[in-house]
Structure 1
């Protein structure tokens, strides 16, 4: 059954008349629909006839007050709905005519329970597509929910979502249990009261009034405890808010439930706090699927320490990279982190990495989603432990590099688009077997760029010039256009100074810029967007630059980029880039020959351009228009 046109009409009417948000519109529609839905269960909840849409419509006038009164009475008869209609003041913002139309149209629906469920799910999907950024933190795409739940392979027990949002994940777990004829008890907690209320109503339409859905902060006040310990669950799936700052840091560091034993939490991001909360909420043989960003999988500092301890405990079973732009209103890439306290014998000490970045379909305006065949393929790879070239691979915990859990670290695509060559296929084994290969750190000294602060004033006669990203064009540093600065904190200024012949590489942003520092006067620094390399005496800087600009050099650099919103190159990754180092005299000879050939090509291009211009002037002479203009530059 297709409901989009009806839902579009409802939403447009509510938003145009009352100028209310998408979430408010959904709250209004779902609240009214719940009254009609409960008419199918009048006997179960002992609902009198006056608690119905028909009874409200018979009155005609003062509909907003009557709707509120009915909703309040329903809460008294249906304990599961206690507190969900607190936002019924929204009805007062609608005209009597609009509210009458909405009530009468929903009253006319003669749906079965299954049809009501489909209608409500269509409403949440439609609202998610409209909400954009507003709905990101509350809505997990249906395909991601289905994938995560199928990875859990539930066989009955207790399921928990500690960041339940609009209860989409809980409803997906309920649907899985229904289709697989198993009993699964549902538990969830949500801090946003509006989302909690809508989540409860959504569960109502799934006939899951037995679900336990609590209000509150999962991190500071977890709702499900047994004595002084967290309640344990068989299965967990969570899509928690990304990068949320921890406000109650000291409270969490003195956690009475002892959840954070795997390392000290960072203040700036609660990602690891949610992950460790989920882990502490698992039974001894439990499994969790957590939606995480790329940053959660590779960031350093305290988060790296926690990942190291999780690896040592062999709790990570799989990391699945999903396509970017799956979340409405956000172009970031997400991953599924699978934690398992009871790995099978053949998976112990290993992590299954799956690169599903290219498994998606597209809707209007570039919206991506997981198709059924994408979900089926990923589920099969995970459960069957399939290893497919460039798609999936088991990696020993001992082989994890620098506690980096990004899938593309271990599953490199062999085909990349490299400008100006177009699509290029690479052969990693051939690269490893190149003669005289050395890691970049062995042929040069590395140094970082300076982070210019607001205290460092740009002045015309400042003692230091700074190379910024915009100062490198077409592989050259535009020395004459560098801005001068007064650097207030110059205690370590010497470490940022460039020398003639240094190679600088941009490490932030999609495009990678490479240049050799030319002869210059005065003190020049590189900004924090660059890393500098001072080649050893047996390495020609232009030879190094040409290699890094080559298709294979670009492949090696681009494949090491990481980042959620802004891609970056880590110094450690850069240090380990393999470089084929030929004898110094041979390097110089290769570069001299190359530069001479490039100069010859440029001279030929200038000559051809001159011929093109002369040909055009001859044409204008024949057309009789040459005398109408004079070229000011020859």
Structure 2
């Protein structure tokens, strides 16, 4: 319970940090400042805690105590030895006057100098390749922060003071990681359409991850790959369900540099060691990656941009990822290019789960040929229709396609989960009960009326390799038969009630009198018409 409270406290501190910037810029910009400065505090606090641990073999009471101990140790003759050990353990060194603790102290005394923070950023970036260009998106000299040096500096100082209230000393990596994830989700909500590139809703992430990890939970050294990783949330889900999370190796690629930086920070904040992170800033389709020692993975998770454009250049027909299919995904819709890229990097005993728009299930031409080849090879294992309006960047309904590299059967399980949601103001949401229902249908792998259908290869062949879910799962609700006798009785009763009301209305009209002959004449005409 204390952990939940701690997490809530952390979230509220970080959220009030967002309030300082909210009036100055939109969420897509201020998330970079807030998350970047939180991350610097994390690196600084983790560093000072490690210093104290090396010196005294225990955790410090306060960050100030740790800083004091660090300053004192640097005056000792074994200072260089300490620095060597720190560099080895942390991959970076922070000088005492560039620690977050020093910045917060200066901010409280109106002596904060943003040049120092910039210097701190630069030092971290230059200390190891894993941190290269990590703080690029944070412009400490932006006019958005205020007019003139003083106001801009004050905004950063206020942010530093606010975030200093976050007690990272008594929060483990999971609490901080979860708070960070929560913030990313909130930014996604505020940012709306732009959020699609960095955030997959947790419900969808959970289904994808639990499906892909099924049967591999005990594996030591599990490898997970997301070639369109966004902020890394989908990748990081694997550690929630693995029995040996500290041995997971994460591989991810992201085209957008800001989002790639977000993912790198997210990894550290979840306590993932540099050795287990293999992240790259690049275009997944244009150049294959990874191509080194590790090229196939136990789990492939993907939520690529839907129906994106790509070059589809003829040269790709010689690319090992696509060459077996004889055709390429169309220029205007890269969906199958992403799918084939992921499948190429899947181990023969692994599982891949990808979210795509429904069009991939039934569109013809090149996509139809690729789909048929995948079905003939037994690669498509399951198709799950999700509710509409789950994502921040599109309201279209999407589906999860589950793929396997080599298996005996060629049957496909279809699940219609389109009605399993709770309506929200902006987005629909799937509850844990909805998620569990989908996962149970998936693991049972059998036909359930109106919910799931296990289609044989012959069923699919008869449908010309069209995988549109309503062809297999009939969710049509038959209307009840009309009881004619009951209908006639109701009509008779309605007629009687009308007659009674009409009679009451007539007697009211007959009671009306007037000295005006014209009014009386009109009244009598009306009475005559009703009686006639």
TM over 0.5: yes
**TM-score if structure 2 supplies the norm length?**
0.74
Give the drift of 1:623.
Answer: 8.9
Aligned to 2:149: none
For the Cα contact (< 8 Å) 1:287–1:340, is it kept in 2? Answer: yes
The answer to which of 208-217 and 181-190 deviates more is 181-190
Aligned to 1:257: 320
Aligned to 1:452: none
Aligned to 2:104: 57
The one of 3, 12, 16 aligned to 1:9: 16
Distance 2:510 2:198 in 1: 66
Do residues 79 (structure 1) and 143 (structure 2) align?
no
Give the drift of 1:251.
Answer: 5.4
Residue pairs, 1:330-345, within 5 angstroms: 330-343=394-407, 345=408
The one of 275, 278, 292 aligned to 1:226: 292
Residue pairs, 1:300-319, within 5 angstroms: 300-319=364-383
For the Cα contact (< 8 Å) 2:328–2:337, is it kept in 1? Answer: no
* RMSD over equivalenced CA pairs, Å: 3.3
The one of 163, 168, 181 aligned to 2:233: 168
Distance 1:104 1:37 in 2: 14
The one of 431, 434, 453 aligned to 1:374: 434
Gaps of 5+ in 2: 48-85, 146-151, 483-490, 523-532
For the Cα contact (< 8 Å) 1:315–1:339, is it kept in 2? Answer: yes
Give the drift of 1:108.
Answer: 2.3
The one of 269, 274, 282 aligned to 1:216: 282
The one of 412, 436, 439 aligned to 1:351: 412
Once the two structures are superposed, residues 452-489 of structure 1 have per-residue CA deviations (whole angstroms, 9 ceiling, x without a partner) of xxxxxxxxxxxxxxxxxxxxxxxxxxxxxxxxxxxxxx
Name the SS of the counterpart of 1:269 in structure 2. coil
For the Cα contact (< 8 Å) 1:320–1:354, is it kept in 2? Answer: yes
Instruction: Pick closer, same or farther for the CA change 1:50–1:255 going to 2, 3 Å.
Output: farther
Aligned to 2:349: 285
Give the drift of 1:91.
Answer: 5.7
Instruction: Pick closer, same or farther for the CA change 1:182–1:193 going to 2, 3 Å.
Output: closer
Instruction: Pick closer, same or farther for the CA change 1:303–1:48 going to 2, 3 Å.
Output: same
Give the drift of 1:8.
Answer: 4.3
Distance 1:101 1:127 in 2: 20
Give the drift of 1:76.
Answer: 2.4
Distance 1:304 1:254 in 2: 17
For the Cα contact (< 8 Å) 1:260–1:277, is it kept in 2? Answer: no
Instruction: Pick closer, same or farther for the CA change 1:621–1:397 going to 2, 3 Å.
Output: farther
Paired positions, count: 435
Instruction: Pick closer, same or farther for the CA change 1:8–1:48 going to 2, 3 Å.
Output: closer
Aligned to 2:211: 151
Aligned to 2:528: none
Do residues 392 (structure 1) and 397 (structure 2) align?
no
Aligned to 2:39: 34
Give the drift of 1:183.
Answer: 2.6
Once the two structures are superposed, residues 514-546 of structure 1 have per-residue CA deviations (whole angstroms, 9 ceiling, x without a partner) of xxxxxxxxxxxxxxxxxxxxxxxxxxxxxxxxx
Once the two structures are superposed, residues 381-417 of structure 1 have per-residue CA deviations (whole angstroms, 9 ceiling, x without a partner) of 222324322111210122111322122221111426x
Do residues 191 (structure 1) and 238 (structure 2) align?
no
Distance 1:621 1:306 in 2: 83
For the Cα contact (< 8 Å) 1:174–1:184, is it kept in 2? Answer: yes
**TM-score if structure 1 supplies the norm length?**
0.63
Give the drift of 1:267.
Answer: 1.6
Distance 1:366 1:622 in 2: 57
Aligned to 2:59: none
Distance 1:8 1:108 in 2: 12
For the Cα contact (< 8 Å) 1:61–1:96, is it kept in 2? Answer: no
Aligned to 1:242: 306
Aligned to 2:52: none
Distance 1:392 1:26 in 2: 41
For the Cα contact (< 8 Å) 1:307–1:403, is it kept in 2? Answer: yes
Distance 2:329 2:39 in 1: 42
Distance 1:212 1:48 in 2: 28
Structure of greater relative contact order (alpha carbons < 8 Å, 6+ residues apart)? 2
Once the two structures are superposed, residues 12-68 of structure 1 have per-residue CA deviations (whole angstroms, 9 ceiling, x without a partner) of 43121x22x312211111111112211343143243323322222344456433222
For the Cα contact (< 8 Å) 2:329–2:335, is it kept in 1? Answer: no
Distance 1:61 1:410 in 2: 69
Gaps of 5+ in 1: 417-423, 427-550, 552-600
The answer to which of 3-12 and 79-88 deviates more is 3-12
Residue pairs, 1:551-570, within 5 angstroms: none
Distance 2:368 2:40 in 1: 50
Aligned to 2:55: none
Aligned to 1:360: 421
Aligned to 1:70: 120
Once the two structures are superposed, residues 121-162 of structure 1 have per-residue CA deviations (whole angstroms, 9 ceiling, x without a partner) of 111121122121110232111111111111012334321101
Instruction: Pick closer, same or farther for the CA change 1:90–1:410 going to 2, 3 Å.
Output: farther
